[in-house]
């Protein structure tokens, strides 16, 4: 199995601030990787660079072998993004939102069948004719993720997908993300320890734009001699201060 994502010394600098300082990372196809860190750790900037939303200052990154700078048109066909803020067309219905995204990526016939399949998979049948602005926060997030996967991406980026959701909505969304793991590579950014612990194959701990540790939970526990991701995270973050 090849690598879905490869980055080499990826740097993003804004005037006097370094948002990401030399990220080197390899993510295998079919893997779910969690970028874990507090606010301002550089998680969202990393996602932005990997999805061609912003250009790296230094270094290089590839998605399924395509360079994010030189071959951005192809990268955009390979990735799906669910941004941090719920990004749906408010006056369109759930079905229209999905049709809109499907039509951007797929042929007409494929788009129609993909819409029906996605509505079913995400349990949105009851709301398909409802305007997006009338949905609850949890269902808006669901729709946002459904819109990100409807183009059949190879790599899916979920930026803080459960931010602000209640515990039930969060758990329900975890189940949807778990189900997606079989079909695509997923990069999840979060600052919820339990979310990374529950979903990720490997965890990348970031602070102040730097990668402090990468590994499975077990590897990170062995590395720090602590149990549970929260203690591991605190141990790593404090050691680096």
Partner 1 sequence: MKRTMVFAKRNLIEVYRDPLSWIFCIAFPIVMLIIMSIVNSAIPKEAGNTLFRIDNLAGGIAIFGQMFIMLFTAIAVAKDRNGAFLTRLYSSPMKSGDFVWGYILPMLLTAVIQVCVSLAAAIVVSIVVGYSLNIAGLALAVAAVIPSALMFSAIGFLFGALFNEKAAPGICSIIISLGAMVGGIWFDVEGVGGFMYKLGRCLPFLYATKLARSAISMDFGVSEFLVPLGVVVFSAIALTILASIVFNSRMRADQR
| Options 3, 28, 40, 100; binder of partner 1; rule CB under 8 A | 100
Tell me which residues in 28-67 interact with partner 1 (CB under 8 A): 48, 51-54
Among 105, 123, 197, 219, which residue sits at the site for partner 1 (rule: CB under 8 A)? 105
- Footprint (CB under 8 A) of partner 1, residues 143-162: 147-148, 151
Shortest approach of partner 1 to residue 82 CB, angstroms? 8
**Following CA atoms 115, 116, 121, 122 in sequence, which dihedral angle do they give, to the nearest 10 degrees?**
60
Binding window for partner 1 (CB under 8 A); candidates: 100-108, 160-168, 195-203, 214-222: 100-108
Query: What span, in angstroms and rounded, lies between the C-alpha atoms of 32 and 137?
Result: 24
Q: Per the structure block, which two tokens stand in for 101? A: 């995204």
Q: Where are the alpha helices (DSSP H) in 53-158?
A: 72-78, 94-105, 108-121, 137-149
Give the chain's length: 241
Rounded to the nearest whole angstrom, what is the least distance from the CB of residue 124 to partner 1 in the complex?
A: 18
**Would you count residue 224 as binding partner 1 (CB under 8 A)?**
no
Is 100 within 8 Å of 92 (Cβ atoms)? yes
User: Is residue 88 a contact point for partner 1 (CB under 8 A)?
Assistant: yes
In the β-sheet with 58-63, what is the strand arrangement from edge to edge? 17-28, 3-14, 58-63, 66-67
Residues of this chain that interact with partner 1 (CB under 8 A) are 14, 48, 51-54, 73, 76-77, 79, 81-92, 96, 100-101, 103-105, 131, 147-148, 151
């Amino acid at each position: 199995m090849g690598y879905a994502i490869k980055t080499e010394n990826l740097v993003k600098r804004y005037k006097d601030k370094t948002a990401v300082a030399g990220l080197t990372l390899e993510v295998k196809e079919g893997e779910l990787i969690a970028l874990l860190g507090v606010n301002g750790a550089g998680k969202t900037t990393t996602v932005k660079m990997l999805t061609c939303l912003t250009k790296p200052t230094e270094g290089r990154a590839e998605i399924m072998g395509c360079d994010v700078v030189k071959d951005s048109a192809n990268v955009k066909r390979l990735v799906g993004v669910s941004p941090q803020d719920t990004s749906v067309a408010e006056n369109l219905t759930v079905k229209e939102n999905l049709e809109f995204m499907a039509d951007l990526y797929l042929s007409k016939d494929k788009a129609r069948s993909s819409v029906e399949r996605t509505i079913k998979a995400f349990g949105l049948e009851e709301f398909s004719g409802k305007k997006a602005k009338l949905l609850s926060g949890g269902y808006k997030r669901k729709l946002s993720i459904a819109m990100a996967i409807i183009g059949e991406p190879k790599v899916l980026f979920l930026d803080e997908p459960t931010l602000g959701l209640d515990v039930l909505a969060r758990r329900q969304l975890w189940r949807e993300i778990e189900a997606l793991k079989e079909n695509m590579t997923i990069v999840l950014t979060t600052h919820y320890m339990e979310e990374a612990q529950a979903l990720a194959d490997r965890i990348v701990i970031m602070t102040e734009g730097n990668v402090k540790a990468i590994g499975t939970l077990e590897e990170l526990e062995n590395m720090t001699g602590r149990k549970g991701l929260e203690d591991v995270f605190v141990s790593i973050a404090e050691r680096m201060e």
